[in-house]
Amino acid sequence: MNLKQFYKLVLFAFLIPLFSSCFEVIEEISMRNDGTGDVVLTINLSQSRTKVASVMLLDSVQGYKVPSKQKIQQELSEAVAYLKKSEGISNVKSSSDFNNYIATISFTFKDVSNINNITKNILARQKIKATNTSSYSFNKIGKTFIRKYQPVATAKAEFNKLKTKDKAVFNGATYTSIYRFESPVTSTSNPASNVSKSKKAVMLKSSIMDLINGKTNVSNQIQLSK
């Protein structure tokens, strides 16, 4: 999923501009050979938890309304309700840790392409501009997992419209994708990929600023052992 779509999905990211640049976005997809799988999406602000806790006591910061814990829980519940109605999606769960400030949403899909439909629908519902186009596919016969990522030309221009303080929030932020498989990985197309010792997981980590500026492309074609 592209980052802006994911923020809307988790409905927790409107907190990020209030805190600091120390946050992490993590996308985990576990693929089974039959094409089904699981997704876990996480926003982790634990490195800034002391500052986050202080901000949560205020009504607003830098012109941003500070949501209550109850409001965050409500938004997560609404996201879960929406996902439960999505085609091919089941076992939807969410969690929020207000001690370490970590929010997650997880679900199971019948086909990885179901994720594409979700992000497309979320964009339409939220009426937001995409920062990139991102899609997933899995060839069960050829045992090939493909993640396509294409930055939108206007993404950097939209970012440049932000206030200086808001831009600084993203300086130390990171995005990590982790893809797990039942069969061993034989090759990956993205040179920044790291394959685990077990050969059954691929990780790719990037700074969010590099994604915004188009310096990093997280597209990947992962070939599994047949």
pLDDT at 122: 54
Tell whether the model's pLDDT for residue 21 goes beyond 60: no
Residue 199 or 148, more confident: 199
Total length of the chain:
226
d(CA 147, CA 157): 25
* Band of residue 127 on the pLDDT scale cut at 50, 70, 90: very low
Please check whether residue 46 is in contact with residue 102, taking contact to mean a CB–CB distance below 8 angstroms.
Answer: yes
Average pLDDT over residues 92-107: 86
* Band of residue 144 on the pLDDT scale cut at 50, 70, 90: very high
Helix (H, G, I), strand (E, B) or coil at 191: coil
Which of 121, 104, 130 is CA-nearest to residue 38? 104
What does 35-63 look like in DSSP terms, one character per residue? Answer: S-EEEEEEEE-GGGHHHHHHHTTSSEETT
Instruction: Please name every residue paired with 44 in a beta bridge, in sequence order, or none if there are none.
Output: 24, 102
- For residue range 72-89, list pLDDT tens digits in order: 777 778 778 888 888 899
The verdict on pTM exceeding 0.85 is no
Which of 95, 94, 74 is CA-nearest to residue 84? 94
pLDDT at 4: 40
* Band of residue 60 on the pLDDT scale cut at 50, 70, 90: low
- Looking from the CA of 168 toward its CB, the CA atoms found within 13 Å total 6
d(CA 110, CA 92): 13
Residue 56 or 211, more confident: 211
Highest mean pLDDT, choosing among 86-95, 124-133, 177-186: 177-186
Tokens, residue 122: 């979320």
d(CA 194, CA 197): 9
Tell whether the model's pLDDT for residue 155 goes beyond 70: no
